[in-house]
Amino acid sequence: MHVAIIGNGIAGITAARFIRKLSDHDITVISAETDHFFSRTALMYIYMGHMRYEDTKPYEDWFWPKNRIELKRAWIERVDVEGKTLYSSQGEAIPYDKLIIACGSAPNRFGWPGQDLRRVQGLYSYQDLQGMEAASGELERAVIVGGGLIGVEMAEMFHTRHIPVTFLVRESSYWDMVLPPEESQMVNRHIREHGIDLRLRTELDEILDDGTGSAGGVRTKAGEEIDCGFVGLTAGVHPAIDFLKDTSIEMQKGILVDDYLQTNVPDVYAAGDCAQLRNPKPGRRPIEAVWYTGRMAGETVAYNACGHPTAYDPGIWFNSAKFFDIEYQVYGDVQARAPEHHASLYWEHPEGRRSIRLVFDRNAGHILGFNLMGVRYRQEVCEQWIREKTPLREVIQNLGLANFDPEFYDEYEPEVVALYNTQTGDNLQLRQKRGLRAALKFLNHKQLN
């Protein structure tokens, strides 16, 4: 049997690896982006000089032939699902028995005048990185549009080369559709502390031509013109599925799949950013363009393609990022606009660059989620507490178990306990201090019981 996989990102490559573990099937991974799989989240570090491209490849080049995974550099422009054949832009026909579509995302463009000029792009692909590099030589200012994670990464990249950045965010605070107000305000301050010209409540109206077909500036909805030689469009991404529009595969925003990542067409699956779950788990979105869910979906789709029915379960929500010097982690249900039954205990360091938020059920009193800025907590411990609906009081008393900061970093759990006692009139004491041994003992005890 021949399994063809469109896309060599984390979902497609994980699928290929697990199909090889589970079977002796022929496997072909097809991508027009690069010859080999690389870590997409590391693109910014290549530009910043922290890594080379070859350092971002998790596997040596010999890994693929050794494991009999064929890599094909090609752009698939048509899929014949009835004839089970892929057609590349070079005219090559590639037959398959089973097909996994893991073609990822593309940056959003909202019909702005000038969005197709040169030096106007997003930051998603290796080609986008090359475009940024090519534009940076004599660049005097960049404008970035959109207040998400990719936007702040692009701002940091230019900042490391001392290229001034104007950051246009239409919302009243950075990423305020995801972050609670206090954390969003913290990031606003931190972006500005790094010299970034952050413009909140500011929308792009038009990208201006410099007279040569390249970006020369932008005009905002308020009529202000800002000179620049590069415009970064980072207002989100969407599934890159236009090449499937003439097929019988059912799609909405993404490729519709069931709990087993199967499309409506037999022997055709989808995984990763391009897949849209028909029945997402409670509290989860139908499309989640996140690295770790792509990895989980890739493993799941491999089992299903190999005849081992396995339902996709992304588990408890997790995400992480970095806003310049502030690391961010979230576990569980933390919402920007908390529903009525959600309450939270929020502690923030006086310097305004670290915070710990514990979200709990106002009525039942058990933990729902953790939101962390500048502090690292162990994923396994936090998920255990969330899964078991651990009472907030017990979490507070044992909070040191979760701390994953290095040994000589300051500990803030005593301050969180003190805040809890002040707000509740309780007299709790911190039982567990930070330590790997204590955390492992806790996890092992939970597993045994």
- Which pLDDT does position 437 carry in this prediction? 62
Does 313 reside within a domain?
A: no
Does 112 reside within a domain?
A: no
Domain count, the chain: 3
Cα gap 333→380, rounded to integer Å = 16
> Cβ neighbours of residue 93 under 8 Å, at least 6 residues apart?
85, 86, 87
CATH number at residue 217: 3.50.50.60
Task: Provide the domain limits for residue 425.
Answer: 318-448
- Which pLDDT does position 244 carry in this prediction? 97
What pTM was computed for the model? 0.92
Of 177, 162, 160, whose CA–CA distance to 325 is shortest? 160
Of 365, 391, 368, 395, whose CA–CA distance to 381 is shortest? 395
Chain Cα centroid distance, residue 127: 19
Kindly give the confidence (pLDDT) of every residue in the chain, 449 residues in length, as a single tens digit, with 9 standing for 90 and above.
Answer: 999 999 999 999 999 999 999 999 999 999 999 999 999 999 999 999 999 999 999 999 999 999 999 999 999 999 999 999 999 999 999 999 999 999 999 999 999 999 999 999 999 999 999 999 999 999 999 999 998 899 999 999 999 999 999 999 999 999 999 999 999 999 999 999 999 999 999 999 999 999 999 999 999 999 999 999 999 999 989 999 999 999 999 999 999 999 999 999 999 999 999 999 999 998 899 999 999 999 999 999 999 999 999 999 999 999 999 999 999 999 999 999 999 999 999 999 999 999 999 999 999 999 999 999 999 999 999 999 999 999 999 999 999 999 988 877 889 999 999 999 999 999 999 886 666 566 666 666 565 45
> Cβ neighbours of residue 54 under 8 Å, at least 6 residues apart?
none
Phi first, then psi, for residue 277 (nearest 5°) are -70, 130
Give residue for tokens 């089970």: 84
Does 323 reside within a domain?
A: yes
- Which pLDDT does position 408 carry in this prediction? 78
Residues 275, 374 within the same domain? no
Is residue 141 classed exposed, middle or buried when 0-12, 13-18 and 19+ CB atoms within 10 A define those classes?
middle
Facing residues of 218 across strands?
A: 207, 226
Chain Cα centroid distance, residue 270: 18
Cα gap 54→34, rounded to integer Å = 12
Looking at 214, 235, 256, the residue that finishes a domain is 235
Looking at 249, 282, 305, the residue that finishes a domain is 305
CATH number at residue 426: 3.30.390
Residues 197, 260 within the same domain? no
Chain Cα centroid distance, residue 223: 33
Looking at 235, 251, 278, the residue that finishes a domain is 235
Q: Between vectors from CA 408 to CA 404 and to CA 409, what angle results, nearest 5°?
A: 60
- Which pLDDT does position 443 carry in this prediction? 65
Does 364 reside within a domain?
A: yes
> Cβ neighbours of residue 404 under 8 Å, at least 6 residues apart?
376, 377, 378
Does 310 reside within a domain?
A: no
